[in-house]
Structure 1
Amino acid sequence: MEFSIRAALVAGWQRISKAGPVLVLAGALCALTLPTAHATVRNEAPGILSPAVGNRLLELIHLEGEGAWRDAEAGYTALIATGSLTPYERAILLRQRGRARYQLEDLTGAIADWRAVIALGALPDEDANALRINTGQLLMVVDDYRGGITLIEAAIARGVPLNGDLAARLAQAHARIEDHEGGLPYARFAFARAEEAEAGGADRQTFSLLLYYYQQLAMLPDQLALIEDMVARWPAEKANWTSYASLLAQAGREADAFEVNRIMYLGGMLTSSAELVRLAQYYSWYDYPYGGAVMLERELNAGRVERSTANMQLLANLWRHAREWQRALPVLERVATTSGAGTDFEAYGEALYQAGRFAEAEAIFVQALNRGGLSRPGDIWTYIGNARMEQDDLGGAARAFHRALEWEYSRAGAQGWLEFIASKRAILAAAAELERQITIEDCEIEVERARRQIVVSPAGYDIAGNRVLDIPERCEPWFDRQGNRLPVTQPT
């Protein structure tokens, strides 16, 4: 008469779990139905054990219950070594020994035994598939990810339903062997199942797993949609916002990336000097230098941004680009005097020029040239010429523009200014000549008027008796005191 020892095996097989960096093993192995210990006739049918094997198996299971795993393993090994076993009996004993080896942390031995069981093909499909799942996960624990994937996928192909947990493990394993095309469907399946769950949807680990695949496969739109969900679900997570801004920039949505960074700043998420400086640069890149300068100046004054030369240069450049010359000047002066670089003196000179302080600008531009390191010195000579023009120093301006002719990039502009100066000089000369002629004509009238006056006083004549006229001072360059024209002299 046969009897069932399923209860004994169920009690013996506890949940198998082995923590690893990626994997957690699946649940308990299925129990088996074994023959009666009192049977006297050996039945070769699958699922039936001989009395000798069945009784000894019960004894070994009892040892397992007492925690005597080493003795149980030795007993299974001795039984297996008898050689006179049916495939089913051999499968049962190998399976039990594999469990004992697992408990003894002999994972290699456990894997070898369970693979041998699977190869025998003597167990029912349900039991064999459960063993494939557990063996596959053990293989992943020992870093044989490809072997583990093969066994678990074989179980799925033989009817084991794919659930979120298995899909996540397969996705993790595919990631470890960098088979991203193969792992993506599992990552998506695991995510979808987690989102369908009633416990609030996917957790961070499930989100991160799917995001990893999207990143590796350069699936930018999918990354962006997923990270948007993560930002909405965990709005206090700075890393999500940072990734969101980066993805927006990669997608060509720079303005949106800028707005995300502004939101992070207003939310107090940007705290380091580097983060705040990067935000100020964003302001400059997206044509809002004034806002960037205000923000950066505030953070510099608060001490949250380091007062380095580079950061002060950034502040100065933001004020310059915003055309806030008066606010830029003290910063530019500090930068120039601190660094001593010709380029910083160039920027300072430009701000002085734009602020209308032409004499100071000229002096600073000369310093910039003397210090050197300028990428376009011809432009600086043009600036100097312009500053001198503003001070009505045409000669000095012409000399500066002549220097600018030495560089091809500034030659056309300088030549234009020189032509302008020549034209202006011609106009001024013509105007001066016209003014001279008008003055002479006016003086001639004045002289004639003076001659017609009747003079009876001796003071109206000189020693020689010649009439002395009252000549206006402005006429003295052209007429003597008797009203005679003086020799014409050419202007110098």
Structure 2
Amino acid sequence: MLARTFWDKRGLARRMAVAILAAFAAFVFVAGPANAQRRNKDKQKTEGRVLSTQVGELVLKVQEALQKDPPDNATALKLINQILAKKKLTPYEKAIAYQFKGQVSYALNNIPDTIKSWEAAIATGALNEDEINSLTPNIGQLYIASGKYVKGATMLENWLKKGGKANDRIHLMIAQAWLQADKYRKALPHAEAAFRMAKPKKKKHFDILNYIYHELKMYGKQADLLEQEVSIWPDDKKIWRGIASLKQQANKSREAFEINKLMYLNGMLTKPRELVALAQYYSYYEVPYRGASILEREMNAGRVPKTKKNLVLLANMWRQAREYDRAIPVLTAAAKIAPDGSLYEKLGEAYYAEEQYDKAEQAFRKALQKGVKKPGNVHVLIANSLYERKKSHEAIKEFQKAVKYPYSRKTAKGWIKFINGEFEVARRQREFRAKVKLDECKNQLDRKKRMGAEFLEGVGEITPECKTILAKEEARKKALKKARKKAKAS
């Protein structure tokens, strides 16, 4: 019932794309080359880590351009290119220039050139370990932000292994990168680390871990995680739906049903498909009356459309609940808009269950007019409706129509045999009663003959009924005798 899980990768991917850039913007920090130079001037006064007078003057101009409000990135870039165009630059001078160029390129949203510049700065070999460790995570994050997920995630992992300082943002970004590359196992430890380190925990920490647990079928851990999440955000319908979906997947559909009931009582189920699904849950768990009541109420409120499909569902639930009188108006409305006669057939069955046999017959005949898959069965139902109204001869005619169809032939023949048997029993009963009455009349006649002269008026008189019966019997005998003579003569 809950076929579509709420852990939708496409939706999660869109959220993560925004999160990657946001996390990068929050985390990225480029130590200006001059700042780095000043920071290290006392402990790093080795040969080659100084700037020439000409380069130093240009670097100061670059800094002045970048310190303006807003920064003059165009002038800064022009000055940086002048530095890089000079011949006989030392590796350290190149490293300073490339770091500045990366910083300006990032400000200009030129991500490819930012990566290229910072990698060129590291490639000069003039940067110390701290400076390399400052640039490396930024480069890795930029690779991820530009869609090179594996390269960026690998770079950040190597940086962490070499002693890089981790935080929940870095781990979350690595997890997101591996997730985009469909490497769920690689994403898992980083998502868990981000979750542990995050204080306070936000939806994004739950969402990515939920998604990974789901994809790796780690439903137990996912259930525990959702329970933590719902305790923080008890009004979030998406979380409750996730718990219900997990229960369903774990073959705990009864628990899923209870969760849906709780969501409905708290006003969380508002969409037509959600409300219809809840009604179906009630039907499945043999509580059709409650399900039908909810569905009817939501239809009347306009939250569930009165489509043919929904009307049929409602009618079926009323029938399941044996509330045929409530199913009849629903089926009547649905049958009128149905393209065939199947719903008129169901309507006839509802009338039949209510012992409204004449209306049942009318509905069944409309079903035949609009067309049904098995008309033979409908003829049987019409015949049953006639039989219940003591119209046995008409019923036999309908059963005879049903005999023409292989699937209804056996049933129809059985009924025909049964009704003919009733006819035969009735005939024999009539013959028996007639014989008993004839014997009684003969006794009256014999009694009168025995009394002879002693016969008194009003005593032992033959009744008018018996006189008629005896006359008919005498006429029958004479006709029989005449017929025999005629037969003998011929």
TM-score w.r.t. the length of structure 2 is 0.80
Aligned to 1:32: 36
Aligned to 2:466: 475
Aligned to 1:342: 341
Matched, 1:226 2:228: no
Shift of 1:355: 0.8
Aligned to 1:173: 177
Aligned to 1:49: 50
Q: Take 1:77 and 1:100, find their aligned partners in 2: how far apart are those partners?
A: 11
Unaligned runs of 5+ in 1: 1-18, 461-467
Amino acid corresponding to residue 171 of structure 1 in structure 2: A
Structure 1 450/257 Cα, relative in aligned 2: closer, same or farther at 3 Å?
A: farther
Please state which structure has a larger fraction of its residues in helix.
2
Q: Take 2:250 and 2:479, find their aligned partners in 1: how far apart are those partners?
A: 77
Structure 1 161/489 Cα, relative in aligned 2: closer, same or farther at 3 Å?
A: farther
Amino acid corresponding to residue 387 of structure 1 in structure 2: S
- Among residues 427, 430, 434, which one is paired with 2:428 in the alignment? 430
- Among residues 64, 67, 72, which one is paired with 1:65 in the alignment? 67
Matched, 1:487 2:477: yes
Shift of 1:178: 3.4
Task: Indicate the structure whose relative CO is greater, using CA pairs within 8 Å and at least 6 residues apart.
Answer: 2
Aligned 8 A contact 1:191 1:207 in 2: yes
Cα RMSD for the two superposed structures: 3.5
> Any idea what SS the aligned residue of 1:367 has?
helix
Q: Take 2:237 and 2:46, find their aligned partners in 1: how far apart are those partners?
A: 66
Structure 1 113/180 Cα, relative in aligned 2: closer, same or farther at 3 Å?
A: same
Q: Take 2:105 and 2:315, find their aligned partners in 1: how far apart are those partners?
A: 71
Aligned 8 A contact 1:316 1:332 in 2: yes
Amino acid corresponding to residue 265 of structure 1 in structure 2: Y
> Any idea what SS the aligned residue of 1:478 has?
helix
Aligned to 1:464: none
Structure 1 242/437 Cα, relative in aligned 2: closer, same or farther at 3 Å?
A: same
Structure 1 120/245 Cα, relative in aligned 2: closer, same or farther at 3 Å?
A: same
Structure 1 476/315 Cα, relative in aligned 2: closer, same or farther at 3 Å?
A: farther
Structure 1 364/190 Cα, relative in aligned 2: closer, same or farther at 3 Å?
A: same
Q: Take 2:255 and 2:39, find their aligned partners in 1: how far apart are those partners?
A: 72
| Aligned residue runs from structure 1 range 369-384, under 5 A | 369-372=368-371, 374-384=372-382
Q: Once the two structures are aligned, what percentage of the paired residues are identical?
A: 33
Amino acid corresponding to residue 230 of structure 1 in structure 2: E
Aligned 8 A contact 1:43 1:50 in 2: no
Aligned 8 A contact 2:61 2:79 in 1: no
Aligned 8 A contact 1:36 1:54 in 2: no
Q: Take 1:485 and 1:104, find their aligned partners in 2: how far apart are those partners?
A: 126
Structure 1 362/96 Cα, relative in aligned 2: closer, same or farther at 3 Å?
A: closer
Aligned to 2:364: 365
> Any idea what SS the aligned residue of 2:36 has?
coil
Aligned 8 A contact 2:149 2:181 in 1: yes
Aligned to 1:13: none
Aligned to 2:252: 253
Structure 1 175/473 Cα, relative in aligned 2: closer, same or farther at 3 Å?
A: farther
| Aligned residue runs from structure 1 range 179-258, under 5 A | 179-194=183-198, 197=199, 199=200, 202-217=201-216, 219-258=218-257
Structure 1 337/139 Cα, relative in aligned 2: closer, same or farther at 3 Å?
A: closer
Deviation per residue, 1:279-305 (Å, 9 max, x gap): 323322333221111122223333433
Shift of 1:251: 3.5
| Aligned residue runs from structure 1 range 34-433, under 5 A | 45=47, 48-49=49-50, 52=53, 55-56=56-57, 57=59, 60-66=62-68, 67-194=71-198, 197=199, 199=200, 202-217=201-216, 219-337=218-336, 339=338, 341-372=340-371, 374-433=372-431
Shift of 1:380: 1.3
Q: Take 1:367 and 1:313, find their aligned partners in 2: how far apart are those partners?
A: 17
Aligned 8 A contact 1:20 1:141 in 2: no
> Any idea what SS the aligned residue of 1:487 has?
helix
Aligned to 2:447: 449
> Any idea what SS the aligned residue of 1:122 has?
coil
Deviation per residue, 1:407-450 (Å, 9 max, x gap): 22222222322232233333333333322322222222233334
Structure 1 93/34 Cα, relative in aligned 2: closer, same or farther at 3 Å?
A: farther
Shift of 1:230: 3.1
Q: Take 1:59 and 1:36, find their aligned partners in 2: how far apart are those partners?
A: 21
> Any idea what SS the aligned residue of 2:303 has?
coil
Aligned 8 A contact 1:341 1:368 in 2: yes
Q: Take 2:396 and 2:250, find their aligned partners in 1: how far apart are those partners?
A: 52
Amino acid corresponding to residue 443 of structure 1 in structure 2: C
Shift of 1:403: 2.1
Structure 1 259/294 Cα, relative in aligned 2: closer, same or farther at 3 Å?
A: same
Shift of 1:346: 0.8
Q: Take 1:452 and 1:357, find their aligned partners in 2: how far apart are those partners?
A: 59
Structure 1 228/427 Cα, relative in aligned 2: closer, same or farther at 3 Å?
A: farther
Q: Take 1:376 and 1:133, find their aligned partners in 2: how far apart are those partners?
A: 72
Q: Take 1:381 and 1:205, find their aligned partners in 2: how far apart are those partners?
A: 63
Aligned 8 A contact 2:344 2:366 in 1: yes
Aligned 8 A contact 2:174 2:187 in 1: yes
Shift of 1:54: 8.1
Structure 1 489/327 Cα, relative in aligned 2: closer, same or farther at 3 Å?
A: farther
Structure 1 82/382 Cα, relative in aligned 2: closer, same or farther at 3 Å?
A: same
Of 302-311 and 106-115, deviating more is 302-311
